[in-house]
Amino acid sequence: MGTARTTRRARLLAPRPGRRRCWWAETADADFVRYHDEEWGRPVHDDRLLFEMLTLEGAQAGLSWLTILHKRAGYRRAFANFDVQRVARFDARRRAALRRDSAIVRNRLKIDSTVSNARAFLAVKQEFGSFDRYLWAFVGGRPLVNCPRRGAVPARTALSDAISRDLTRRGFRFVGSTIIYAFLQGVGVVNDHTRDCFLCPRRATRGAGTGRRRRTVRPARGSE
């Protein structure tokens, strides 16, 4: 019964004619499609979810994002639903137990970095009031909407380089520029839905003299 239900859900979420998605989400995998349609590129301002996504992106290093998505529930159980204050208190015994937990990536460096990153995360909150305020200040509080062509999405940018350097300076680990750019895409600081994706924001323009200037950036229908 469970398998049949999963199969039906996959069919419902799979790409359909007339509704194109970013190339990486053109799959029948229900978790991948749901993540693309409901999370990727949508602005996140909740510190718990920001810590979760930062952790998951770091855990992905050397692996596929699909592997991490399939382990997401295990990560939430293992890391106290990403309660940053609780994770910051994980001691050596707790970390050793996590290295035996098959529901997550059992890599000592990644597990240890999640705990040390929780402590660094709390220090940022102490300084700025919230990690959300710290992060979004890099873009003036507004998402960067790129609408790239298919195949032209960068792996890193000057923005991810700057944030990566600052996080590293603050004691974070597994925060290289490529990891951080994926994080920025995931939490909507950067919107990289490609131009042929149904979730790519439409740029409305109007004539201004002999030229044209951008007027507003509106979400595509169904993305609100």
Select which of 40, 65, 75, 136 is catalytic: 65
**The one catalytic residue among 57, 75, 134, 136:** 57
pLDDT along the chain (224 residues), means of 10: 41 52 91 95 98 97 94 98 98 97 97 98 98 98 94 95 98 98 98 95 46 34 34
pLDDT at 18: 53
pLDDT at 61: 94
Task: Kindly name the residue from 23, 24, 26, 35 that is annotated as catalytic.
Answer: 35
Cα distance between residue 181 and residue 155, in whole Å: 7
**pLDDT attached to residue 221:** 34
Structure tokens, 7? 């199969």
Say how far apart CA 216 and CA 16 lie, in whole Å: 29
Q: How far is CA 154 from CA 29, 149, 179, in A?
A: 24, 11, 12
23 among known catalytic residues: no
User: Using CA atoms, how far apart are residues 60 and 57, in angstroms rounded to an integer?
Assistant: 5
Q: What is the CA radius of gyration of the chain?
A: 19
pLDDT at 202: 74
Helices 158-169 and 177-186: crossing angle in degrees, nearest 10, is 110
122 touches 102 (CB < 8 A): no
Q: Is 35 a catalytic residue?
A: yes
Judge contact between 199 and 182, C-beta under 8 A. Answer: no
DSSP string, the chain: -HHHHHHHHHHHHS-BTTB---GGG-SS-HHHHHHHHHTTTS----HHHHHHHHHHHHHHTTS-HHHHHHTHHHHHHHTGGG-HHHHTT--HHHHHHHTT-TTS---HHHHHHHHHHHHHHHHHHHHHS-HHHHHHGGGTTS-EE--PPTT---S--HHHHHHHHHHHHTT--S--HHHHHHHHHHTTSEE---TTSTTSPEEEEEEETTEEEEEEEEPPTT--
* 16 phi and psi angles, rounded to 5 deg: -120, 155
Please state the pTM of the whole predicted model: 0.82
pLDDT at 207: 33
Tokens of 37: 């349609």
- Active site (annotated) includes residue 38: no
pLDDT of the residue at 115: 98
Q: What's the gap between Cα 47 and its chain centre?
A: 13
